[in-house]
Chain A
Amino acid sequence: MLLKKIIIALVVLSSTHVKAQLSGGFESNSALYIDDAKIKLEQIEARQRFRSNNYLRLDYKLKDFTAGVQLESYEPKALLNYSPNLNKTDLGTYYIKYKNDQLRLEATAGHFYEQFGSGLVLRTWEDRQLGIANSIAGGMIKYSPLETIHITALYGKQRNGLGFDFTDGTFAGLNTEVELSSLLKIKKVKFGIGLSYVNRNEKKQVYAGLNKNTFLTSLRGDFSAGGFTADVEYAFKSKDALVEFNSVRPDLQFDGDAYLLNLGYTKNRFGINANFRRTENFGFYSQRKSAGNVYNEAVLNYVPALTKQYDYSLTNIYVYAAQPNLSFEPNRNKAGEIGGQVGLFYQFKKETPLGGKYGTSIAVNYAQWHGLKGRYDAVQRKYAADKIAFGQKYYRDASLEIRKKWNKKWSSVFTYLNQYYNARYVEEATGEVNTNTVVFDNTLRLKKSKSIRLELQHQWADAGFKNWVASQLEYNFNATWSLFALDLYNYGNNTANDRLHYYNFGSSFNKGAYRVQLGYGRQRGGLICVGGVCRFVPQSAGLSLSLNYSF
């Protein structure tokens, strides 16, 4: 009923006002899980074999005002391993916004997404693949008193599930950015500063000796001149209770902090970029009891893994997830992480020995992450971490990517990746894995917009799942239709029964703003990661259908 009313209201409004605009989007992802000889749903999950996640977003704009809703439907049930809070059909988000560019003013009431600086102290965002939809519901004002000074103030509660379900904390945030060089009319170099403050008030659950307010603050600066850029950030979190196995320990309180440094240099056909970061006890949730939850619910800040994000199936088996949290366990104490990465890009010129007729492009990346070195006492729950010292190694990778066009028809991307992955610390599982992975991705252009893509991959690993081989073939009839078939084969698995083929085939249709994809096959279990934030999914088999439309 609610849905009907909203739609009728929007339709009537947009038909009566000529200048009004209705826009939106619809996305639907469904699966019909079908057991095969090797892959079966768990009994509890098998009660509902058809699952569907659906999102309908509508925005209505009239002059300086925009109002919108997002309706979400998880019926009969959400896809495997989404939070149980996402169920049935209800409002996901709703808002009204006033924006006037002459006044340099924007005011929002209802749900909104916002990020302060790099997101270390506050970021709310939506990622449907991960089941993250942590918008803030409340009020936000953005105002620029001068063209070079930007202020954001917000107040609200964080979305949890659907409808009017929020987490326990209430928070207030203030962010200021000043483009100093422009303010001072300096042209040759560019520099600015930013300052953020976020306070969480959690009074629903009172604990003796625990302050109901927790705050995060961040100070940062950026500088650029010519092809050189640098920015630096320091963030601090006030004392907060340790959360262990979903229980809040007011008797154990720790503060946290984070340092971030980014450097970059570019010249024609060359670019290099380096990031360094140290985080200590820097996870932040909008309610204490959610700390470290597996569904990434109530996350209020963004501490992404600063490693290169790979896009091929076998390069995504051992994915590093950032480790900012504090936890005590004999022989597996963690207080945060320290490390960095360097990325380099270079283009060999056309008509040179390495460049060939069309030029050759290379990308090199190196990343390494460690735990914080220090003195830990898992029994007393005490620790002291050194500032700049590397503890237990968590992850390392080195990769090379070469992109080459051989002739007018054939182009290739070659990727080599070498990884060390410490599953014991990163996944709190067991073991350490060393891998070598190669990917050879080829595109062949045929006549009349037809094309073929063939991807060949192999991974050698000394532990974990051991060796894999994979390949993918895609045939594109034109810009609209394509067929695909792929197979990942874990032929090296120690357990003969787990030496499975994860095959998939299907077709996709893309026309204008429409996209439809239908597939059948097996889905490998493991972590699905986007932006270094991961969601665990069990392996499954069956049919999948996804629909997208935006207008």
Chain B
Amino acid sequence: MSKMFTAAILIMVMQFGANAQVLPNVKLSTLGGANFQTQQLNEIEGKPVVLSFWATWCIPCLNELTAINDNLDDWKKESKFEFYAISEDDSRTAKRVPALVNGKGWNFNVLLDKNQDLKRELNLMNIPYTMVIKDGKIIYRQAGYVAGNENELYKIIKENQ
């Protein structure tokens, strides 16, 4: 096990100098059931794209998305960015997603990652997890959510206009 730790630490150190990771191309679906290739997100040029990974049963995720939704109109007036909430609900709860999103009156894009393919490719262990990509490169990651994290997120959005 100590070898594995050494390896993990070695890789972490190496990654400091490495190029930013690119978002992999994975097939998701929209709330309407259409296919959505994540490559489309990499092709958005010149503005930050925020991806927030969540699920209907995850209370901190709902806290985060509620806080973001409350601020979204103000943020959009000041800055240019795209926002996508990516649901990690599996077939147990995925059917609840459209009802919940509409029932909460959320005004942002929602995508479904039904067998956690994107989550797995990005090596995300837990949700909530938020990342910002710009011109296809991942420039910011935040694991977990506590009240106030959305201010940090907005700072990143503003810095990358």
Contact = CB atoms under 8 A, between A and B. Distances in A.
A504 interface: no
Given A309-B57, A531-B92, A345 B104 contact: yes
A224 interface: yes
B92 A306 contact: yes
Interface in A185-231: 190, 192, 222, 224, 227, 229
A373 interface: no
A245 interface: no
Contact of B143 (A75, A268, A269, A513): A513
B91 A264 contact: no
A266 B99 contact: yes
Contacts of B151: 449
Given A311-B57, A345-B102, A403-B66, A58 B11 contact: yes
Contacts of B147: 443, 445, 451, 453, 476
Q: Among the interface residues B4, B12, B15, B103, which one has the most CB atoms of the partner chain A within 10 A?
A: B103
Nearest to B59: A311
Given A73-B4, A273-B99, A347-B104, A551 B12 contact: yes
A507 interface: no
A229 B1 contact: no
Contacts of B3: 3-4, 89
A21 B22 contact: yes
Contacts of A58: 11
Contacts of A306: 92
Contact of A413 (B58, B59, B103, B142): B59
Contacts of B122: 23, 550
Interface in B102-140: 102-105, 114-117, 120-126, 140
Contacts of B39: 101
B100 A550 contact: no
A432 interface: no
Contacts of B161: none
A493 interface: no
A300 to B, nearest CB: 14
Contacts of B101: 266, 271
Nearest to A120: B91
Contacts of B58: 311
A479 B156 CA distance: 13
B7 A224 contact: no
Contacts of A531: 90, 92-93
B99 A344 contact: yes
Given A229-B98, A305-B92, A513-B141, A346 B103 contact: yes
A126 B1 contact: no
B96 interface: yes
A56 B103 contact: no
B10 A128 contact: no
A515 B115 CA distance: 24
A431 interface: no
B100 A345 contact: yes
A222 B140 contact: no
Interface in A218-261: 222, 224, 227, 229
A101 B37 contact: yes
Contact of B103 (A270, A443, A482): A270
Q: Among the interface residues B63, B105, B120, B149, which one has the most CB atoms of the partner chain A within 10 A?
A: B105
Nearest to B151: A449
Contacts of A513: 141, 143
Contacts of A267: 102
A41 interface: no
Nearest to A348: B105
Nearest to A29: B125
A56 B141 contact: no
Nearest to B10: A7
Nearest to A223: B33
A271 B98 contact: yes
B125 A548 contact: yes
Contact of B1 (A4, A75, A125, A227): A75
Interface in B21-51: 21-22, 24-25, 32-34, 37, 39
B99 A343 contact: yes
A550 B144 contact: no
Contacts of A443: 63, 147
Contacts of A508: 144
Nearest to A182: B34
Given A113-B115, A548-B143, A3 B4 contact: yes
5 contacts: A89-B4, A101-B37, A343-B99, A445-B148, A548-B143
Instruction: Give me the 3 closest cross-chain CB pairs, A-B, nearest first.
Output: A345-B103, A25-B123, A271-B99
Given A71-B4, A363-B103, A479-B148, 17 more contacts: A21-B19, A21-B21, A23-B123, A26-B8, A126-B120, A268-B102, A269-B102, A271-B100, A304-B90, A306-B92, A343-B100, A345-B102, A345-B103, A449-B148, A476-B146, A478-B148, A512-B142
